[in-house]
Amino acid sequence: MLHTTRVLQVDAAEPAAGDIEVAAVILRAGGLVAFPTETVYGLGANALDSRAVARIFEAKGRPFTDPLIVHIAADRQLEEVAEAVPPLAHRLAARFWPGPLTLVLKRRARVPATVSGGRDTVAVRMPNHPVALRLIAAAGLPVAAPSANLFMRPSPTQASHVLDDLSGRVDLILDAGPCPIGVESTVLDLTTPIPVVLRPGGAPVEDLRALVPDLEILNRQVSADDSEAQPAPGMFVKHYSPRARLLLIAGAPDVVLHRMVAVATALQNRGLQVGVLAAAEDAQNFKAIDQVAILGRRDDLAGISHQLFAQIRTLDKSGVDVMVAGQFARTGLGLAIWDRLLRAAEGMIIHASAPPAPVQIGALKITV
Ligand code: AMP
Ligand code: MG
């Protein structure tokens, strides 16, 4: 495919106009540009050019059925990509854009079906990042952009993550440092009689309810048996996956911490390299564990979401066989954090107060 990926360092608040123009020219010519948003790095292409859009899927190894989000930089672009836009969409846009809320609406025919995996809908958002907004405005186009990672890998929150996954597969990366929020946007479907949150994300559901009191949340969680760990992975849509297995422990904070220590110790005693994703105040409890990645203070959900994917990637790079993570509060940004941890765990939850149960890690069956 491509041979080299160019990286341009840009200031997050005041990117040089010349650098933005270099990127805009690539987008207008049908190329791929990875760029920062306030959520994660996006892999952008001209949303109105089906060949450019197809290159996104190829670069990521993403199935063509998996729809992309179209990014815009001005209110008028909403009506250019979506039709029959309901008044609620305009109210939500006025309140949340630019910001981490994606609206699913009826797709205009000029947006190729490739963008939406063949659906007659289109997902749209206006990102709240100066680099993204200036790039989209300079290109003069709506920009289709999924997260700039290989399919099923954790989303990239730094330019180095993009390079790790997509070097040689993307024309240019605009590097503006780490993404502030660190988890993807909230996706809200407005094409159903009752609006549905398809994915929790950077815009808390509690905030959406102020404008959409009747909204529903799509429940993709497998019903984990209350007394035991799920018998096998793979019962859950695999996504955001570290290479290592991730064990997710649910329950009240003190019980979760106690079980995390027990699980991590048991795994390490069987000769596995263990990494723990820990709250800052709990780190001292894991002194005997091989790798400890600190996510942030338990009450700082914004700090935890900012660190989450980066720390999962750090542990993966360190070569651990298994990661152990615990539940945080599921309110506000915590719902998105829980969703990403649950998917990284492939839907398998260990309830902190449940009796020990066997889990399969590679060839080993270990009771934790
Ligand atoms: P990503 O950009 O990789 O973070 O993923 C885009 C997210 O938006 C996925 O969860 C998609 O399923 C969702 N999405 C995008 N377009 C649509 C659409 N037309 N209908 C429903 N969900 C969508
Ligand atoms: Mg993604």
DSSP β-ladder status, 101-107 and 82-83 = antiparallel
Of all protein residues, the one whose alpha carbon is nearest to atom 19 of ligand 1 is: 122
Dist CA 8 CA 252 (whole Å):
45
* CA distance from start to end of the chain: 45
Ligand 2 centroid – CA 134 distance (Å): 22
The residue with tokens 């009506």 is 79
Q: Which of 257, 263, 261, 298 is nearest to 281 (CA)?
A: 298
Ligand 2 centroid – CA 57 distance (Å): 11
Q: Which of 156, 149, 148, 137 is nearest to 15 (CA)?
A: 137
User: What pLDDT sits at residue 219?
Assistant: 76
Dist CA 140 CA 46 (whole Å):
9
359 near 247, Cβ under 8 Å? yes
Q: Exposure of 144 by Cβ count < 10 A (0-12 exposed, 13-18 middle, 19+ buried)?
A: buried
**pLDDT of the chain, 368 residues: tens digit per residue:** 557 999 999 999 999 999 999 999 999 999 999 999 999 999 999 999 999 999 999 999 999 999 999 999 999 999 999 999 999 999 999 999 999 999 999 999 999 999 999 999 999 999 999 999 999 999 999 999 999 999 999 999 999 999 999 999 999 999 999 999 999 999 999 999 999 999 999 999 999 999 999 999 997 653 333 333 333 333 445 566 678 899 999 999 999 999 999 999 999 999 999 999 999 999 999 999 999 999 999 999 999 999 999 999 999 999 999 999 999 999 999 999 999 999 999 999 999 999 999 999 988 999 99
User: What pLDDT sits at residue 3?
Assistant: 72
Ligand 2 centroid – CA 43 distance (Å): 10
Dist CA 347 CA 325 (whole Å):
13
Q: How many CB atoms sit inside 10 A of residue 204's CB? A: 18
Of all protein residues, the one whose alpha carbon is nearest to atom 12 of ligand 1 is: 67
Report the topology of domain 6-217.
DHBP synthase (3.90.870)
Of all protein residues, the one whose alpha carbon is nearest to atom 13 of ligand 1 is: 67
Helix %, strand %, coil % of the chain (to 5) = 30, 20, 45
Please tell me whether residue 236 adopts helix, strand or coil conformation. coil
Q: Is the peptide bond before 98 cis (omega within 30 degrees of 0)?
A: yes
Identify the helix (H) or strand (E) that includes residue 130. Answer: helix 130-139
Crossing angle for the helix pair 334-344 and 301-317, to the nearest 10 degrees: 20
Please tell me whether residue 297 adopts helix, strand or coil conformation. coil
User: What pLDDT sits at residue 243?
Assistant: 82
> Which atom of ligand 1 approaches the CA of 145 most closely?
2
User: What pLDDT sits at residue 232?
Assistant: 35
Among the bound ligands, the one closest to the CA of 192: 1
Name all residues whose Cβ lies below 6 A of ligand 1. 67, 69, 104, 116, 119, 121-123, 146-147, 184, 187, 198-199
Question: Start-end ranges of CATH 3.40.50.11030 in the chain?
Answer: 245-367
Among the bound ligands, the one closest to the CA of 82: 1
> Which atom of ligand 1 approaches the CA of 199 most closely?
10
Ligand 2 centroid – CA 277 distance (Å): 21
Question: Start-end ranges of CATH 3.90.870.10 in the chain?
Answer: 6-217
> Which atom of ligand 1 approaches the CA of 42 most closely?
2
DSSP category for residue 116? G
**For ligand 2, a single-atom ion, which residues have Cβ within 5 Å?**
147
> Which atom of ligand 1 approaches the CA of 39 most closely?
4
49 near 139, Cβ under 8 Å? no
Reading the block at residue 321, the tokens are 């066989």
List beta partners, residue 325: 248, 277
Q: How far is CA 357 from CA 28, 266, 368, in A?
A: 55, 12, 6
Dist CA 274 CA 266 (whole Å):
10
Residue among 39, 66, 149 to mutate when testing ligand 1 (max atoms within 8 A of CB)? 66
Superfamily (CATH H level) for 245-367: Threonylcarbamoyl-AMP synthase, C-terminal domain (3.40.50.11030)
Alpha-carbon radius of gyration of the chain: 21
Of all protein residues, the one whose alpha carbon is nearest to atom 2 of ligand 1 is: 146
